[in-house]
Amino acid sequence: MRSLLPALLVLLATAAHAADLLAPGDPFPAWTLSDQDGRTIGSASLQGKTYLLWFYPKAMTPGCTAEGQGLRDRWVDFQRMRVEVFGVSFDPPEANAEFKKTEQFPFSLLSDRDRSLAVAVGAAGSTDASVARRISYLVGPDGKVKQVYGTVVPATHAGDVLGHLVAP
């Protein structure tokens, strides 16, 4: 029994995390965040468009870099599918600007400094969280969640999202 306890705790934590996430068909909450250049971007300006919000723990770290590079390398495919891409972290705009410049990301990186969006969508358990959970949401032109990525593999995430976009 003692050897099953760690596995049970992981299973319970995963189930609790999944319960915090929005589900396909749910309305995505309204949001407004600053990008790496200090410009304001929000859900109101994206009405009628499909967009991906990928939450990442910290700029310039290996997993976040791999995930961002995958999205960058498939950028043409996202454009062809008419999908806007935005990275979201708790990093300040200056750190996101350096990350974007270093990795030559063609998409904006947004700063959720007060963690309000992250908490609302399950990317953080509280406003005290030090980093965002690695999750993503594909939001449709109607403002509703099309797809939830509660478990993200950085190296394959771009392909996973694109696969859902082309699937019937």
Active-site positions? 64
Q: Are strands 50-55 and 83-89 parallel, antiparallel or unpaired?
A: parallel
Inter-CA distances, 84 with 17, 32, 73, Å: 26, 15, 14
Q: What does the H/E/C string look like for 70-133?
A: HHHHCHHHHHHCCEEEEEEECCCHHHHHHHHHHHCCCCEEEECCCCHHHHHHCCCCCCCCCCCC
